[in-house]
Structures are given as structure tokens and as C-alpha cells.
Amino acid sequence: MKESQVDVLVIGAGPAGLMCSFGLARADVKVRVVDERPKKVAAGQADGIQPRTIEVFQVLTTAINSTNDGVYFALQSYGLADRLLREGNQMHMAAFYNPKSDGSGIELTDRVPDVTAPTARYPFEVTLHQGAIEAIFLDSMKEMGVEVNRPIRPTTIQISEDKNYHDGHPVRVVLKLLEGTGNDEEDSEVVYAKYVVGADGAHSWVRKSFDIAMEGEQTDYVWGVIDMIPDTDFPDIRNKTAVHSNNGSCMIIPREGDKVRVYTQLEGKAAIDARSGRLDKSKLGPNELLDVARKSFYPYTFKAPQSFDWWTIYIIGQRVASSYSVQERVFIAGDACHTHSPKAGQGMNASMNDSYNLVWKLAHVLRGWASPELLKTYEFERRKYAQDLITFDKGFAKLFSGKPRTELNQDGVSHEEFIRAFQTFGGFTSGIGVHYEGSVIVNAKHQNIAAHLVTGERVPPQYLLRAADSRPFEIQDLLPSDTRFKILVFTGNTSEPSQLAKLQTLAEELQAPDSFLTKFSPGGKPETLFDIISISSAKKESVVYNALPQLFRSHWSKAFLDDTPFTGQLGGKVYSTYGIGAAGAMVVVRPDGYVGTIAPLNGVTDLTDYFASFLTSSSA
Amino acid sequence: MKESQVDVLVIGAGPAGLMCSFGLARADVKVRVVDERPKKVAAGQADGIQPRTIEVFQVLTTAINSTNDGVYFALQSYGLADRLLREGNQMHMAAFYNPKSDGSGIELTDRVPDVTAPTARYPFEVTLHQGAIEAIFLDSMKEMGVEVNRPIRPTTIQISEDKNYHDGHPVRVVLKLLEGTGNDEEDSEVVYAKYVVGADGAHSWVRKSFDIAMEGEQTDYVWGVIDMIPDTDFPDIRNKTAVHSNNGSCMIIPREGDKVRVYTQLEGKAAIDARSGRLDKSKLGPNELLDVARKSFYPYTFKAPQSFDWWTIYIIGQRVASSYSVQERVFIAGDACHTHSPKAGQGMNASMNDSYNLVWKLAHVLRGWASPELLKTYEFERRKYAQDLITFDKGFAKLFSGKPRTELNQDGVSHEEFIRAFQTFGGFTSGIGVHYEGSVIVNAKHQNIAAHLVTGERVPPQYLLRAADSRPFEIQDLLPSDTRFKILVFTGNTSEPSQLAKLQTLAEELQAPDSFLTKFSPGGKPETLFDIISISSAKKESVVYNALPQLFRSHWSKAFLDDTPFTGQLGGKVYSTYGIGAAGAMVVVRPDGYVGTIAPLNGVTDLTDYFASFLTSSSA
């Protein structure tokens, strides 16, 4: 059989697998991705991208530029987010319909923002069918020379105890080409990988191969989904709309172009085969699902569409894998780790964000920058998140599937109860509120000096001015996912000589032999692993940007101000919003944009301690 | 000799010629463009794009979508503006340096916004070398199948009196291929064109062929220009900086990447050949120009750069062509019509906006939609603008070249005087304040019902919400340069039954046989020439977007609200900003984004009169 080696083998090219292989390719890691489907998804499936995921798309493709152009070109490339926003529909509004008091059908009860996460940079969801989202990744990967090998199915996977097995590639996977010659040996191949990521879906072969259990249960809620271009008089057809009627619940998700997705609640029995107890798609078709929806939407009407784009029926299962990794050599991500209802709007988002969390850690360990211990934080951070998601989903799905409260049904779900849940969990469903607990990479020791820049959470958007030219920038655009730690130096007011003197001292301490900047500097080049950005509270009219010590303006584009532009109302609120005082602060931002730790300007040793807990000084 | 026919022959592929041929190609007009240079500009030349020109770049490539997707996809394509903003540098700040009172060099006097035009959508200038800007056009044109033929020089041009000459192609031009076979006949070609645009620069062959005079004069101001990556301690090197020193004036224009342009004032004699009285570039080189600049910048220093990107010396001439057209068959545009100093920052901008003004008019006449009279408005509108530009330039260049006012030189130019001129003319230099006077296409009869939406000026930016989905939109993105007139129907509050009844009446009047919508409808399809967009003052929480008459929501994406989004502070100010009352108004926006005329909701006949003055009903 053929044999080959690779740093990371990704099994499965759905959202989790594509995010993983895209991120690794972008980090220049040797990656191979295989999928058993002959083609990418053509229609239907998951279709909602949450605000935090749009932020991730943005920072993932903020171009990395190692020349002295600094961030200049970095902000300007077309990227994943550009294309997502170009092709996708935006949901800004959520509408709620409930039974009229006279029982004659439904009426509009309320309209509220679709996203309730005040710090979201993109305060909306984007909807676009899964195939189009996969295409965004596939096309970008192709530019980097990485393509999905398909249709390929893995047949065996083993981890060697010997770290040096096959030159440090301890995971042995046999792959089989489907639709090949038909000769098993010719169609098979042995791949030796340093790491394997199983992103192979809810029925994950990788997960089953290692007997990882799914913990949780299946619910009784049965739902149908139809995708179509509707012909209707319903006035909220372009908003995310939740309908609680006396004839069941429905949800509208407007999509790209004129398409709309309709979720309809089904009476369990109608779609379940009496003998097997399993879902039977032959019992119901899209026309029957539309008929069910029509009853909920009365008095509004839906004409029969020319065709249905896609449809399905599903039972909600709410489960989390008991483990996310095998010896930190094989990982699982996405649906392989967690299943939940589409109502939480998390489908692709949780999956892609699993991979996003894993990618930079794999890159650091593969490059010898970090100890393998770093990889343990993947399960620690993402399994906790999945458990929280299931807890949320259980409550929300119950409210959603419940009968509306009416005069006759005082035990039903009231609009107030439903919208409270909708808004309370807005931070969670948007992905903005994700909080990683303390670990080697999350240390809240000095949280108090930047009280509102929460350690373990992503850096919230803020506008800055670039000191040299007063051009406004969004801080997230200064934090690209380029596998580097960003050291944000909030310098205080550098127009004051005393503060400038403190910065001079800080620059010397940072460049001393025992500082992390020196000790963990790959090949003696700190900028390979650390990107230093300064943010002064001086004002644009009087700032002399080149009075700063050189370390804090390695290029003119690296020094920023907490000030407003001449035009526009944005900016000038970074220190106050983050809770940083006049004394300043240093903030370590992880490569994935989450706050790692915080220290005062005289706290270089704290930062060195932080990095020493997971970085390796071998390369110095 | 070879012979061919074309609708429009464009001579010259600089900024004016490229804007012309790009715009015509985008309007599906058969266009050919020739240039005598073998290649596009590689460095230097003009490099500043003004705020209004960025707006034009934006609307030029807001994709035209004739499907029922409406504006949905329209806003999302990558276009000229995307690429300009991706590649160019932004100037947000202007800094001013003047002599210190003790005479020891210069000091910072003031920093102000670079752009003083409150309604600018992009409140900054973009700098990028002319070759890169030409590449943006060339690449986009290539996608449409249009390439510049070069190196080709025209040798004769004649206009036939006979309109039917060569099947309606009355302009005969002989072109000669340079670097061809060397055989005159083989290298020559006769082109018969319906129209010819001479965009062939300050020494325009087309202009000279028809003996069109340049009116105006040459000044005594001599300036040098150097482009380089500077090594300096000057703190405003990334701002647009005007230096008035006792050793002459300088100007800094930061450029893409780390490049900077330095303009230096020269003593006239140093660069002028005593015998001929002409500029002699052999007398001065870039190092000498930098030496001159160094004296102005003292005490700040400039080290010698590794190389100079480009350099030149020029004398300012301020002239305008006496005519812009010959029989409305041959037109001249750009530098062929006007020359002025680079200090006004108008170089490419005035040229490209000449062509932008001409393109839609040519397209309308070629399609038989409009009478040839429409073409007379080109000279009427653009020559007036050029004259205003020269007047401004004379005053500004004088102030710029003048000595600074000091204790010893009380007759010099004071900072206050200079900055007053800088800011007073901000609307003019930004291109935002351009005002076209009354003509067949500019009729201010009902100006009072939209007092601040000035007839003859471009529609200023405002945020709207789309009624069906509360998605915010910038109004300029609803006004793409797709050669259609936009009929903005400010409906008033359509949640009120009485207002809705008025709209019903309006819809009937607009669809009556004597309305412009019917009379001037090409091939019986009003949407080919008119795009109707409604803007209601109803509120997002309660609006029922599909209660509007169908004409005002031909697709769900065509109905908008004057309301704020749930998040963000923009929007909800269209009626008040434009000065439109509760009774509403109809606003005709020309295909180039300028307000053509305004009428009350019961004023369909006024609009019909307006269109009847230049449109032809032949195609109905």
C-alpha cells in the first residue's frame, strides 16, 4: 500500500473540518483533509452564522504581513468575512407572533433586535446555505494549494506509544478511496500523522473508533424543515420570526436571495415509524410540512412554491462527547462532539469555533514553541462550552416547542417568558459571551487593572486612531489570527514626560535577557511570536508619535491613540470601556483573539511567568 | 487600409480615458480605447483621489441586478472603491508648519481634518500612484472584454456633415500602430465612430486638430516633486503637511505603503533655461530637490533615501479649453480641457469626473432614449466647473507659494489666512460641493419641498432601514450608476390610512398613459429606464411593508424606512436632513447621482414635463 506522512490529517470536510484545515494551511502547517462525500453540500443543512463567527471570519483573513508595512496592508485584503457578507443575507430583526385573543389566528406581538449582544461588532446573523459557506473555505484553501481529497473513507486508526514512530508521526490511519479501481490494495493508503482531527460529524467514525461515549439524551421534539422561495402575504417573511400558535410552533429564517427556511413543529407520531420507533421520511414530504406550517400562520397564506430547495425532518438530540481527545494526538471537533437543536442557531458556529480554538495550539506545538500541555486546553475550553450550550438548548427548545399561553391554556408559554429567554441568552447564542475559565493560557491575576476587558473572553470592538496619520481602526483588525500573541501596551498619556520615562523603563525590561520577549523568542526574533501594539491616551492634535521608545513603534503603523477622529462619533473610549486607568496596562491577547492575561506596566515578570507556563524556551 | 466601426472611440487611456471607456463598457456601449504609450504609467504622476471620486468609484460598481433580487446582491460585489481602499493610503489629517518666532526653523502650528466637507461619505483622501489606479480600471475592463489598444496614435480626424455617413458613424479617424511592421498602410486603420472622446492629455491632439484654444496663462511658480520612502524624524510625515518656512514652501503627501511625495517650491531661475525660457530638467535632479526641501524642514532631518521612486519639475499653468465639443460628435475630457496646479489636489479627479458626467449621456443618446440635445449639458456643466477650479487654484497657489508672515515680513501669508482658504474651499476641493446649474436636466422648480437636497448637487449620504428586514443601507448604494433614473418616493408615514390613500392615487397617476413612466418607457418596460425606490417615515416596530401599493415595492428590497437600526446611532434623519415634510416628495436622481428635479406627490405632470424636455418617446 501507498504510504505518506503529514503533520495533521483532518477527517471530514464539513464546517469543523474546513475551518480546521483552512486555519492550519494559513498557519503554514502541512495538512491533509479527506471526506467521504464525493462533493460538497449543495443545499440546505446548517445556514446561520453568528456574530462572533463573523468576527472570526474577519480576523482569520486579515492578511499577515511581515514587511515593514505593518498593519497597513493587513486590513485590506478580501477575506472570508467580505465574501460571507457579500453572499449572505443579514438578519437584524426578530419578530414574534402569538394567538389573537379571539382565537382567529396569529398576530404580531413584538419586534426586537435579532442579536442581543451589545458589544457585537456585527450586530446581526448572516444566513447562507452550508454549501456556499463551504465554498468560501474551499476557494480560499485552493489559493493556498490545499484541496479536499474525496471520496475517501478511513478504515483503521491507531496511535503508537512510541513518540518517534515513523519519524514522530505516531498516528497511523488507513484511508480507502471510494469510487476507485475497486481493488482494495490499490485504493488504500497508509497515512502517518503527527495529529489527527476527527471532524466527521454526528456519527463520527473517529469517535466510535476510540469508544468515546456521547452523554445525554434524545428529546421527543420532532421538527420539519423546508427551504423555498415563498409566495406569501406574511409581513415578517424577511425577519427571523417565531410563531407560537394554537396549531403548533414555527420559525422563519430568511435566507440569501429570496429564499426562506421554515421550521415546523410536528406531532411526534406522524413521522415516526411505529415498529422501529425511528423517523420515517417517507411518511411526510415538504408539501405536508408546508400544510402544517399553514395552520400555524393562519390568517396569513403561503401559496405552493414552484419547488422546494431542500427539506428534512429531525428529532432533537442533546449530547456531548465524554472526551474530546485521545492522548492529545487524536481530537474530535464539531458535530462529532456535540449535538443539539437548530433552534439555538449554533449549528455550524459551535463546530467552526471548536476548530478555531484548536488550530493555533496545534501550530504552536508543531513548531516547538509550546509544550504539548497546551493541547489539553482544547477539551477544557470547548467541552465546557458544549455543556453550557446543551443546558441552554434544553431550556430554549422546551419553551419553543411549548404551547402558547392563552386564556384557555394558562400553563402555556407566555411571550414575556419566551422573549426573556431569547434576550437573556443573546450573549451566549451570538457567541460573543463565550468565556474560557482559568488555565495555563487564561490567568486573571491582574483583572482589576482592566476590569471590563475580561480575561478568557474575546477582545470587544473599539475604535482607535493610528497616531501617525489619525486614521481610524477597529481594534479587532489589529488582532489577526496569525498565530502570534499580541501585546497591547496601554501606555497612558505619553505626552507626559513622567509617563514616557516609565515606558522607557518598560522597554528596557522587556528587552532584558530574562524577559519573555527574549526567552521565548523563536530563532531570536521576538516578532515571530509576539506583536507589540501601543495605545496611548495622548491626543491627535498634539501627539508626537515618534517620541515613543522604538519598541512600541517598531513601524509607524504600530502606535495608536485612544481618541476620536475629526469626523464621526466613534473612538476615544478604549481606556474607559476596558476599565484601564491613567497608569496604563499590558494585555496579552491570545492568537485566537481572547484575553490571556493582564499586567501593570511594571509587571513584565508576571507576563514572563504566564508565558513560561506553556511556552518552551528551547528555540532561543 | 483596414476599416472598422464603433459606437465610441476613446483616444487616450489615462484617468479620463479609462473612466470613459470603463463607464461605457459597463453600460454595454460598444467602445474602443487607444493610447500611444506602450504601457500604463509605472510610477509618479497624479496620485490623490478626492472624497467625491471615491463615492463615484463606489456607485460605479455597485452591481446592476435586473432580477428580482433587487438591491440585495447589488451592494455586495467587489468594486473599484473596494480595491482603491484596499491598495491606497488614507489621508485624514492635515498639518501646518510655520517658522518659529525665534527664526530657528519650523514648528507645528495646527492640525485639522484633511477634508472639510461635512457630508462626505468617505471623509478622507486616498493616495495611490496613477499606475495602480489605472490598473484598477484596466483589470475591471478586462473582465468586461475591453482592453486598451496600444501603442496607437491617431493621425487624422474628420466629422462628416452627413448623419448617415457610414451607417450613422460620422466621425472618421485614422489610427496608426506604432512599433508595427513599419509599413504605413499595413499599420494604419480607419475607424468610423458615432462619437469620439479625446482624453489625450494637456497636449491633446484631438483638441489641436479642431483648433480649440486653451484660455488662461502660465504662472511663475516652479515646483519640484520627489517620491520616496523617507528616513526622517519629522513627526507629520504620514499626514498631509503644508510647510511655510523662511526658506520656501513644501508639501508632504503620504502615499501607499511607506512612500511619501514631497512638493518643493523652487526659485524659478534655477530650473529655467536662460535662452529658451523653458524648464530644464537637466539643471536639477531629485537630490537637489531634496536639498531644497531640507532647508524648509529644518530642524527636522531627511536622510538620503536609497532611491527615488519618481521625480519631476513643473511650472503651473492655469487654462481652460474654449470649447469641450465639436458638433456634439467629438468631445474632449480631462487634461485636454483644463490644466491647473497639483496643489488643488484635483489632478485625476476633475478628469475622471468629466468622463463620468459624459458617459451616461452618450449611453442614453446612443440607445435612442434621449435627444442629442442632452449632450450639450456636458460642456455646460463641466466647463463651468473647470473655470471655478482655475479661479480657486489661482488664489490657493498664490497663498501656498507666498512667503510666511513673520515679524520681519508683515506682508507674508499668515497661517490664519491660509487655513481659512484651505477650509473654505474644502467642499470644492473634495468634489462634494460641485453644483450643476439649471438646464434641461437640472430643474429646481420645487426645491422648497426638499430644501436641503439641492437640485444639481449629488445626493448626500444618509442611512435608511430596509422595511422588510430592518437592514441598514447607505442611500448612495441604492443609486448605482446603472444609467437609470432613480425615482425616490418619500411617501410620508404610510402607517396612516390617509397617506396610504394618496399613494394609491399616485401609483395610478404614475401608471396612466400620459405619465413619463409610460411615455418614456423603452420597449414598454419602465424599469429599464426608471428605478422606483420608496422611503416611508413609518417605524420598524409597526411597519407592514407589503401594505404599500405594488409599484412602490416592485420587490421587497425596494421599500425603505427613515428609521434607526436597533443598534447604532445612524439613520432616522433622511426627511429632516433633506428638508422633506410629512407630505412627502418625489425626487428624480440622475444616473450620475445628482439631483435632477423634485416634485410633490401630486406632481406627476411636473416630472413628465421634466423628462419630456430631453427624453424621446419613440421607443414606447
Q: Which of B68, B257, B547 lies at the smallest CB-CB distance from A72? A: B257
Q: What percent of chain A has pLDDT over 70?
A: 95
For chain A, what is the radius of gyration of the CA atoms?
26
Q: Could you give the dihedral angle defined by the CA atoms of residues A304, A309, A313 and A319, in that order, rounded to the nearest 10 degrees? A: -140
Q: Mean pLDDT, to the nearest integer, of B111-125? A: 92
Mean pLDDT of chain A: 91
Annotated active-site positions of B, please? 47, 255, 263, 342
* Integer Cα distance of A529 and A620 in angstroms: 12
Q: Report which of B520, B535, B452, B444 is spatially closest to residue B487, judged by C-alpha positions.
A: B535
A68 touches chain B (CB under 8 A): yes
Confidence of residue B532 (pLDDT cuts 50, 70, 90): very high
Q: Which residues in chain B have their CB less than 8 angstroms from residue A473's CB?
A: none
Q: Mean pLDDT, to the nearest integer, of B589-596? A: 98
The C-alpha cell at A522 is: 523563536
Q: Which of A82, A92, A469 lies at the smallest CB-CB distance from B565? A: A92
* Integer Cα distance of B357 and B328 in angstroms: 14
pLDDT tens, position by position, B287-338: 999 999 999 999 999 999 999 999 998 887 889 999 999 999 999 999 999 9
Task: For residue A280, give the amino acid letter.
Answer: D
A606 among known catalytic residues: no
Q: Which residues in chain B have their CB less than 8 angstroms from residue A565's CB?
A: 92, 123
CA B373 to chain A, closest CA, distance in angstroms equals 40
Output the pLDDT for position A368: 94
CB contact (8 A) between residue B468 and residue A545: no
Output the pLDDT for position A343: 64
Q: Is the pLDDT of residue A272 over 80?
A: no
Chain A contacts in chain B segment 124-153 (CB below 8 A): 124
Q: Is the pLDDT of residue A324 over 60?
A: yes
B302 touches chain A (CB under 8 A): no
pLDDT tens, position by position, A514-565: 999 999 999 889 999 999 999 999 999 999 999 999 999 999 999 999 999 9
CB contact (8 A) between residue B92 and residue A471: yes
CB contact (8 A) between residue A92 and residue B470: yes
CB contact (8 A) between residue B545 and residue A239: no
* Integer Cα distance of B242 and B400 in angstroms: 8
Output the pLDDT for position B217: 82
pLDDT tens, position by position, B481-505: 999 999 999 999 999 999 999 999 9
Q: Which of A69, A86, A568 lies at the smallest CB-CB distance from B76? A: A86
For the entire predicted model, the pTM comes to 0.94
Q: Is the pLDDT of residue B17 over 90?
A: yes
B85 touches chain A (CB under 8 A): yes
Q: Is the pLDDT of residue B561 over 80?
A: yes
Output the pLDDT for position B72: 34
Look at A480 and B237; give whichever has higher pLDDT: B237
Output the pLDDT for position B603: 97
Residue of chain B whose Cα is closest to the Cα of A555: B258
Q: Which residues in chain A have their CB less than 8 angstroms from residue B120's CB?
A: 567
**Any idea which of A124-138, A401-415, B515-529, B602-616 has the lowest mean pLDDT?**
A401-415
**Any idea which of B263-272, B389-398, B481-490 has the lowest mean pLDDT?**
B263-272
What distances in angstroms separate CA B544 from CA A235, B547, B553, one per listed residue? 6, 6, 12
Look at A356 and A282; give whichever has higher pLDDT: A356
Percentages helix, strand, coil for chain A (3-state, rounded to 5) are 35, 25, 40
CA A230 to chain B, closest CA, distance in angstroms equals 12
CB contact (8 A) between residue B86 and residue A76: yes
Q: Which residues in chain B have their CB less than 8 angstroms from residue A120's CB?
A: 567
Output the pLDDT for position A73: 37
Output the pLDDT for position B425: 78
Interface test with A, best of B567, B570, B573 (most A CBs within 10 A): B567
CB contact (8 A) between residue A92 and residue B566: yes
A231 touches chain B (CB under 8 A): no
Residue of chain A whose Cα is closest to the Cα of B69: A257
Q: Which residues in chain B have their CB less than 8 angstroms from residue A76's CB?
A: 85-87
Mean pLDDT of chain B: 91
Residue of chain A whose Cα is closest to the Cα of B68: A258
A239 touches chain B (CB under 8 A): yes
DSSP character string of B286-344: HHHHHHHHHHHHTTS-EEPPS--SEEEEEEEEEEEES-SEETTTEEE-GGGTEE--GGG
CA A461 to chain B, closest CA, distance in angstroms equals 13
The C-alpha cell at A109 is: 406581538
Output the pLDDT for position A345: 67
B553 touches chain A (CB under 8 A): no
Output the pLDDT for position B343: 64
Q: Mean pLDDT, to the nearest integer, of B158-172? A: 94
Q: Report which of B257, B138, B41 is spatially closest to residue A76, judged by C-alpha positions.
A: B257
CB contact (8 A) between residue A567 and residue B123: yes
CB contact (8 A) between residue B238 and residue A82: no
- Residue tagged active-site, from A342, A522, A526, A591: A342
- Residue tagged active-site, from A15, A32, A35, A47: A47
Output the pLDDT for position B222: 84
B581 touches chain A (CB under 8 A): no
Q: Which residues in chain A have their CB less than 8 angstroms from residue B77's CB?
A: 86
* Integer Cα distance of A405 and B585 in angstroms: 45
Neighbours of B192 (CB within 10 A): 19
CB contact (8 A) between residue B233 and residue A546: yes
* Integer Cα distance of B252 and A469 in angstroms: 12
Confidence of residue B587 (pLDDT cuts 50, 70, 90): very high
Interface test with B, best of A65, A71, A91, A93 (most B CBs within 10 A): A93
Q: Which residues in chain A have their CB less than 8 angstroms from residue B113's CB?
A: 566-567
**Any idea which of A301-310, A421-430, B61-70, B261-270 has the lowest mean pLDDT?**
B61-70
Q: Mean pLDDT, to the nearest integer, of B115-142? A: 92
Look at A411 and B261; give whichever has higher pLDDT: B261
Domains of chain B from N-terminus onward: 2-88+124-213+319-389 (3.50.50.60), 93-116+217-317+397-425 (3.30.9.10), 447-612 (3.40.30.20)
